[in-house]
């Protein structure tokens, strides 16, 4: 059985990921191929090129990849100037004795590995940033330097209800029965510079273990970091829970966390038999999947797991 499960915005890359698997390629190559197309998509303002910037108008990317067979992992955080964060994360996994590079070190490594730099801030994304700043923090869009010492005051903008809430998640199962999980994002729009979210943190937004399954998250990354959500799901699977039980239990763990910015978290999970679930604290989230027999990907609603106070 070969199969790919992805967040809804993965629809532009799921065919390419499945093609890799059909040709006998690895789950790792499938995840990378699928995510790169999302990173390239100029209409997606939550991932890679055209992603929304931080408070200072700079695009900073987070990405991670984990091989369920070896449990090797690679990640980059607060990573600027290169569009394919997932490919650089893969290189970290394969070429370095490390799992995680951030900021300037990650850029240096990308350059050293021969990746091509590119301006990531598109006119549309810049326009959205400018509009937001003009309305809520005109000081930042006019003269950034004068306010460099107190931009923390503006982090309240991360509560912006219009803020797009996505990130791309891919999980692939290859013909050898191996799982790979990949996540890539431009993170919370208008975030504090240098903020790294769950997408780059192995165990938080990404985890894969061929013995039990793989899980990837989107949504309020600070919660997934605090509760080690992706790793929790896999651990619950290892303890004998079913896929829906493990996912629900991990989302319920988040309800316990006090957080003035509480936002929905969503996840996708697949086990080594190719069974999968997708669930969300929000009620309108979708996901996509496609296996080797299907001609087209299927888009479905996620199972809704509301917070107790939100249940009607
Ligand atoms: N999880 C991502 C982050 O916290 C953002 C998102 O999925 O909306 O950076």
CA of 189 to the centre of ligand 1 (A): 9
- Kindly give the confidence (pLDDT) of every residue in the chain, 312 residues in length, as a single tens digit, with 9 standing for 90 and above: 999 999 999 999 999 999 999 999 999 999 999 999 999 999 999 999 999 999 889 999 999 999 999 999 999 999 999 999 999 999 999 999 999 999 999 999 999 999 999 999 999 999 999 888 888 777 666 655 655 566 777 777 665 545 556 899 999 999 999 999 999 999 999 899 999 999 999 999 999 999 999 999 999 999 999 999 999 999 999 999 999 999 999 999 999 899 887 788 999 999 999 999 999 999 989 999 999 999 999 999 999 998 887 754
Read off the pTM: 0.95
Beta carbon of 188 within 6 Å of any ligand 1 atom = yes
Ligand 1: which of 53, 198, 204, 225 to mutate, most ligand atoms within 8 Å of CB? 198
Beta carbon of 165 within 6 Å of any ligand 1 atom = yes
- Catalytic, 122? Answer no
**Distance between CA atoms of 267 and 255, rounded to whole angstroms?**
15
**Distance between CA atoms of 269 and 108, rounded to whole angstroms?**
33
Beta carbon of 221 within 6 Å of any ligand 1 atom = yes
CA of 295 to the centre of ligand 1 (A): 31
**Distance between CA atoms of 54 and 158, rounded to whole angstroms?**
10
Catalytic residue among 46, 158, 167, 218: 167
Fold classified for 3-305: 3.60.20
**Distance between CA atoms of 272 and 122, rounded to whole angstroms?**
39
Q: Is residue 152 classed exposed, middle or buried when 0-12, 13-18 and 19+ CB atoms within 10 A define those classes?
A: exposed
Ligand 1: which of 62, 185, 262, 265 to mutate, most ligand atoms within 8 Å of CB? 185
**Residue 116, token pair as written in the block:** 């091509």
Helical residues (DSSP H) of the chain, grouped into ranges: 14-22, 27-40, 85-95, 103-112, 123-136, 138-142, 221-227, 229-238, 243-255
């Amino acid at each position: 059985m070969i199969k790919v499960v992805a967040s809804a915005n993965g629809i532009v890359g799921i065919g390419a990921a499945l093609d890799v698997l059909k040709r006998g390629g690895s789950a790792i190559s499938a995840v990378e191929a699928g995510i790169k197309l999302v990173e390239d998509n100029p209409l997606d303002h939550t991932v890679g090129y055209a992603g929304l910037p931080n408070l200072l108008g700079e695009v900073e990317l987070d990405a991670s990849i984990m091989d369920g067979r070896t449990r090797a992992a690679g990640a980059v955080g607060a990573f600027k100037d290169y569009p394919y964060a997932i490919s650089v994360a893969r290189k970290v996994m394969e070429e370095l004795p490390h799992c995680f590079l951030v900021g300037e070190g990650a850029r240096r490594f990308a350059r050293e590995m021969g990746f091509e730099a590119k301006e990531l801030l598109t006119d549309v994304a810049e326009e959205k940033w400018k509009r937001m700043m003009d309305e809520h923090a005109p000081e930042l869009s006019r003269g950034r330097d004068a306010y460099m010492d107190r931009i923390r005051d503006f982090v309240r903008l991360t509560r912006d209800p219009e803020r797009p809430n996505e990130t791309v998640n891919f999980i692939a199962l290859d013909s050898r029965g191996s799982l790979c999980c990949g996540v890539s994002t431009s993170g919370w729009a208008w975030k504090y510079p240098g903020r790294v979210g769950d997408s780059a943190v192995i165990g938080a937004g990404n985890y894969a273990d061929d013995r039990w399954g793989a899980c990837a998250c989107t949504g309020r990354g600070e919660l997934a970091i605090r509760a080690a959500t992706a790793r929790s799901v896999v651990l619950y699977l290892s303890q004998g829970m079913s896929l829906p039980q493990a996912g629900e239990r991990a989302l319920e763990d988040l309800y316990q966390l006090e957080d003035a910015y509480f936002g929905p978290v969503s996840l996708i999970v697949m086990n080594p038999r190719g069974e999968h679930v997708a669930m969300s604290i929000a009620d309108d989230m979708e996901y996509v999947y496609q296996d080797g027999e299907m001609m087209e990907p299927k888009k479905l609603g996620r199972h809704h797991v509301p917070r107790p106070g939100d249940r009607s």
